[in-house]
Amino acid sequence: MPAVLPRFCGVMPLAMMLIAVPTALGQGIAQQNILQAFANEKEAIKVNDHIYQASGFSNTYLVTTSDGNVIIDTSTSAFASRHKKLLQAVSKAPIKYIILTHGHPDHIGGIRQWRGPDTEVIAQANYPAFREYHHRLMGFHARRAAAQYNLALPVTLSAAEELLRPEYDATITFEKEYTFKLGELTFELHAAPGETQDQLAIWIPELKTAFLGDNYYETFPNIYTLRGTEFRSPVLWIKSLEMVRSWHPDILLGSHVAPIKGAKEIETRLTNYIEAIRYVDNETVKGMNAGKDVHTLMREIKLPDELKIGEQYGRLTWSIRGIFDGYVGWFDEQPQTMYATPASSVHADLVELAGGPDGIVKKAREHFDSGQLEETLQLLDVVLNPEPTHAEALKLRIETCTLLNSRADNVIEQGWLAEFIRRDERALKALTKPAKKRSRAS
C-alpha cells in the first residue's frame, strides 16, 4: 500500500486507527497488510489468571471461569479465526456469553466464529439501531473509510450487508445495567455512551478489571471523525469515563490499546483523558456563547500543556467543529448560507476577474512558497472548481498535499491526504493520455 499504512502499522497503539473500518473494506482488500502487522503474536497475552487478550484490528478478550467462558468483542471476521486459535489454546471450554462493547464492525465481525447454539450475546439496547444506521449508510461509509484508512478501492459491500444478518443479533439487550454471575466471577455491564451511543463498559469486581471498549485511546479521541459519524456527545463520553474511574480499576482494558495496569496509572490516564475532552467541550461552548464562529474556535482552542495527550487519531480541530455542529447544526448566520447556491458557484467569476486561472495559481504558489499551505488549498479550489483539469493547479495541489502529509502525525489526516494525491494524480494522468482514435463508424 502507499506510504501511510506501514507508518501507522508500525506504531502499535495506533493499530486502533483501523477502528470501525467497515468490515466490507477490511476483508480481502488491505486487511492482508494489517493482518501481517499482528502476525508475530503467536500466543494470547495473559492479562491475569482469568483474562487473555488476542490483539489485532481490534482486540478479542477471553475471560475464563469454572463454569464456562466469556468473549468480550470479536474483532473483524478476518481476525477472528486467528484470535480463536490463540484464545482456544488457553481454554476450549464452552462460550457461555459474548459481550459486545458496541456495534462497530471491527467488534462484531467475528461473532459467527464464536457463537454456539447456547451462547448468549449481550449488547446495549441501542445496538440494533446502530447496526441499522450503519447498514443504511454503508455505501457512504465504505467510500469514506476507504479514503480515511488508505485502503484500496473498489470496495465490495457484501460483508457490510452480512452484518445485518440474524447471526449478529444480540439475545440479551439492556438499557442501563445488566449483571450476571458465571462461576466465580460477576460481570456488571453498564451503558457507557461515548464513541457510540450503544457503547457499554464492563466491571468484574473480583478481578478489579474494567473493559471500556472504544471510549479510551492513547490519543485524543475522535469526537468527530472525517468518515462521518452521528454526534458523539462529549458530555456523555465524560460521564461514562467518570463512571469507569469511580470503580478504581487495577486493570483497564480497551479494544485498541495494550492492557493498562495499576490503579494510580489508570486514575491518572483516565483523569487526563476526561479533562482534555472537558476542556475542549467547555471552550467550544464558551466561544459559541461569545458569538465566535467555528473556524475561529478551531484556530483558537489549544489544550493546555498538562492535558496534551496526542492527536495521532483524534484531532482537536475536527472535534471542535464536531461539537459545534453537534450542538447547533450547520447554520453560520450568513445570508447566503440559507440558500442552495454554494460559494463555488462564483469561482468561475473570480477566475474571470483575475484574468484567468494562471494568475490565481501564481498567487497560490506564492502562498505555498511562504508556507501558507491551507491558503494555497483555498486558492487552488477557486481554480479547480470551474476547471478541474487545470494541470498546474493539480500539480501544485499534489505538492501541497504531499508536504502536508510529510508533516502530519495524525493517521486519518495522512489517509485523506494520500487519497487526495491519488485523485489529482489520476486527473493529471487522464490529461496526458493520448486521445483515442475515433472509430470509422463515428
CA angle 71, 22, 422 (to 5 degrees): 145
Least distance from Zn ion to the Cβ atom of residue 184, Å = 30
Burial status of residue 177 (CB atoms within 10 A of its CB: 0-12, 13-18, 19 or more): exposed
Does residue 20 interact with Zn ion by CB under 5 A?
yes
Say if CB 216 and CB 256 are below 8 A apart.
Answer: no
Q: Which is nearer to Zn ion, 214 or 218 (CB)?
A: 214
C-beta of 224 vs 420, nearer to Zn ion: 224
Span interacting with Zn ion, options 47-55, 78-86, 210-218, 260-268, rule CB under 5 A: 210-218
- Measured from the CB atom, is 104 or 397 closer to Zn ion? 104
CB closer to Zn ion, 102 vs 397: 102
Sequence letter at residue 349: D
Edge-to-edge strand list for the sheet holding 68-72: 45-46, 51-54, 60-65, 68-72, 95-99, 120-124, 172-174
Report the residue number, 19 or 260, with the smaller CB distance to Zn ion: 19
Question: What is the contact mask toward Zn ion in residues 228 to 267, using x (rule: CB under 5 A)?
Answer: ----------------------------------------
Are the CB atoms for 392 and 358 separated by under 8 Å? yes
The DSSP output letter for 425 is H
8 A C-beta contact, residue 76 and residue 105? yes
Place of cell 443479533: 169
Decide whether 19 or 192 has the Cβ nearer to Zn ion: 19
Using the CB atoms, write b or e for 119-152: b if 16+ within 10 Å.
bebbbbbbbbebbebbeeebeebbbbbbbbbbbe
Residue 269 binding Zn ion, by CB under 5 A: no
Establish if 351 lies at the interface with Zn ion (CB under 5 A): no
Q: Which stretch binds Zn ion (CB under 5 A): 163-171, 179-187, 214-222, 402-410?
A: 214-222
Helix (H, G, I), strand (E, B) or coil at 256: coil
Size of the site for Zn ion (CB under 5 A): 4
Q: Are 190 and 243 in contact (CB under 8 A)?
A: yes
Measure CA 322 to chain center: 14
Residue 19 Cβ vs Zn ion, minimum distance, rounded to whole Å:
5
CB burial class (10 A; 0-12, 13-18, 19+) of residue 42? exposed
214 binds Zn ion (CB under 5 A): yes
Task: State the amino acid at position 308 in one-letter form.
Answer: K
Residue 212 found at the interface with Zn ion (CB under 5 A): no
Residue nearer to Zn ion on the CB measure, 60 or 69: 60
Mark 94-113 with x for binding to Zn ion (rule: CB under 5 A) and - for no binding. Answer: ----------x---------
Say whether residue 160 binds Zn ion (CB under 5 A): no
Interface with Zn ion includes 361 (CB under 5 A)? no
Site string for Zn ion, 53-92 (x = CB under 5 A): ----------------------------------------
CA neighbor of 371 nearest in space, from 344, 418, 404:
404
Q: How far apart are alpha carbons 320 and 298 in whole angstroms?
A: 6
* In the complex, least distance from residue 106 CB atom to Zn ion, rounded to whole angstroms: 7
Instruction: Output the smallest distance, CB 395 to Zn ion, in A.
Output: 38
Identity of the residue, 105 or 287, whose beta carbon is nearer to Zn ion in the bound complex? 105
223 lies in the binding site for Zn ion (CB under 5 A)? no
Residue 303 Cβ vs Zn ion, minimum distance, rounded to whole Å? 23
Task: State which residue, 214 or 413, has the beta carbon closest to Zn ion.
Answer: 214
Which residue shows C-alpha cell 459481550? 99
Tell me the pairing of strands 200-204 and 209-211: antiparallel
**Cβ proximity to Zn ion, 20 vs 142, nearer residue:** 20
C-alpha cell at position 165: 444478518
- Which of these segments, 211-219, 278-286, 374-382, 412-420, binds Zn ion (CB under 5 A)? 211-219
Q: Quote the cell numbers at residue 74.
A: 470479536
Binding mask 169-208 for Zn ion (x = CB under 5 A): ----------------------------------------
Secondary structure element (H or E) that encloses residue 257, with its range:
none
Catalog residues that contact Zn ion under the rule CB under 5 A.
19-20, 104, 214
